[in-house]
């Protein structure tokens, strides 16, 4: 674990004085709920609808419910926003959120995936700083920024094991040129674990573009989204007693959903308390049973990055390109 790094005074001032959000650019939202299996009715009520809450973002990502409000990233703009019920617009929470000192070479410099630890502190995947960090009391603490002395590509999303270990993905989407970036120090895009002692373990380097990541409720299965346009899918692994993973298999093949021009790829994903996987995919958020059966889709009409539960654990918040969207569910997120 690294020593805490104080934000420069200028950064703090910017975070405190920034306007509520980018200039609004009204854009029609035409989300719809697609019921593909009768079991979906047990998860989303027949009268539930997708509701647009805010808009005007460049690429919204990584929602997490934190201290009674939703915090989420706008990755290209290097900003994290906050929103809570009653607000008509999202407000700046952190600016900058992922690249603290202006540095060339980044196409998406901001924070991406967000989570909170057992103490309720915000954890961030910071593209620009190329690390996983914790934020509290106006300070960032680096939790992991290198593997075997080499800097990560641009950590993308993360999931916490119950023992406090942090699992995260590290594709190169944050870098200009992606895999061809001269800043890229590792010859692969990996999935890692950060132990309580701060040790970083490489779990796999076999996925082309690992992205979203989440555990099953019993923590025996780890799901990883692959945002490869040639083979977008969700893979699953068994989690061994020592925290490593084994027996990779395809849990859900999302490539057929691209037929017909549906926007997006598999990206962020979360799991509900019954083990159903809610994942971004072509067309929006797909809902998949623990057995790998497609039950339904929350079609946002836009390329969709991620989702997470908030409020009482029964409201699903969705980051869909320029939009922040929500829908009530009959289930709850795992851990609520």
Q: What is the CATH number of the domain that holds 278?
A: 2.120.10.30
Decide if 336 is inside a domain: no
Residue 28's pLDDT is 85
pLDDT in tens, 112-169: 999 999 999 999 999 999 999 999 999 999 999 999 999 999 999 999 999 999 999 9
Residue 12 in this model has a pLDDT that exceeds 70: no
Residue 22 in this model has a pLDDT that exceeds 60: no
Residue 83 in this model has a pLDDT that exceeds 90: yes
Residue 49 in this model has a pLDDT that exceeds 90: yes
Decide if 232 is inside a domain: yes
- The parent domain of residue 198 ranges over 4-328
Residue 294's pLDDT is 98
% of the chain with per-residue pLDDT over 70: 92
Decide if 333 is inside a domain: no
Residue 26 pLDDT grade (very low, low, confident, very high; cuts 50, 70, 90): low
Residue 24's pLDDT is 53
Decide if 132 is inside a domain: yes
Decide if 334 is inside a domain: no
Residue 260's pLDDT is 85
pLDDT in tens, 197-215: 999 999 999 999 999 999 9
The number of domains in the chain is 1
Decide if 335 is inside a domain: no
Residue 6 in this model has a pLDDT that exceeds 60: no
% of the chain with per-residue pLDDT over 90: 90
Three-state SS for the chain is CCCEEECCHHHHHHHHHCCCCCCCCCCCCCCEEEECCHHHHHCCCCCCCCEEEEECCCCEEEEEEECCEEEEEECCCCEEEEECCCCCCCEEEECCCCCCCCCCCECCCCEEEEEECCCCCEEEEECCCCEEEEEECCEEEEEECEECCEECCCCCEEEECCCCCEEEEECCCCECCHHHCCCCCCCCCEEEEECCCCCEEEEECCCCCEEEEEECCCCCEEEEEECCCCCCEEEEEEECCCCCEEEEEEEEECHHHHCCCCCCCCCCEEEECCCCEEEEECCEEEEECCCCCEEEEEECCCCCCEEEEECCCCEEEEEECCEEEEEECCCCECCC
């Amino acid at each position: 674990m690294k020593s805490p790094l104080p934000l420069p005074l200028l950064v703090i001032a910017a975070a405190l004085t920034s306007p509520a959000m980018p200039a609004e650019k009204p854009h029609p939202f035409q989300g719809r709920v697609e019921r593909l299996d009768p079991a979906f009715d047990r998860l989303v009520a027949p009268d539930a609808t997708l509701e647009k809450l805010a808009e005007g973002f460049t690429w919204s990502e990584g929602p997490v419910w934190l201290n009674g409000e939703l915090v989420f990233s706008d990755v290209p703009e290097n900003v994290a926003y906050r929103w809570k019920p009653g607000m008509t617009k999202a407000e700046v929470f952190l600016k900058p959120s992922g690249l603290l000192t202006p540095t060339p070479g980044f196409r998406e410099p901001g924070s991406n995936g967000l989570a909170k630890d057992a103490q309720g502190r915000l954890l961030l995947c910071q593209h620009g700083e190329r690390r996983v960090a914790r934020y509290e009391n106006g300070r960032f603490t680096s939790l992991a920024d290198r593997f075997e002395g080499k800097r990560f590509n641009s950590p993308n999303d993360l999931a916490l094991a119950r023992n406090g270990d942090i699992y995260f993905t590290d594709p190169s989407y944050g870098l200009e040129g992606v895999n061809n970036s001269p800043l890229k120090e590792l010859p692969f895009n990996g999935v890692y674990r950060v132990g309580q002692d701060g040790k970083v373990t490489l779990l796999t380097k076999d996925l082309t573009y690992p992205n979203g990541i989440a555990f099953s409720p019993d923590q025996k299965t780890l799901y990883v989204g692959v945002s490869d346009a040639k083979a977008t899918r969700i893979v699953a692994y068994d989690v061994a007693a020592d925290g490593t993973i084994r027996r990779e298999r395809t849990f859900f093949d999302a490539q057929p959903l691209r037929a017909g021009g549906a926007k997006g790829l598999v990206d962020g994903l979360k799991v509900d308390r019954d083990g159903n996987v809610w994942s971004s995919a072509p067309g929006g958020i797909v809902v998949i049973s623990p057995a790998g059966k497609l039950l339904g889709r929350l079609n946002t009409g836009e390329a969709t990055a991620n989702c997470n539960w908030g409020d009482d654990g029964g409201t699903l918040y969705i980051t869909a390109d320029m939009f922040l969207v929500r829908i009530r569910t009959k289930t709850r997120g795992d851990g609520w």
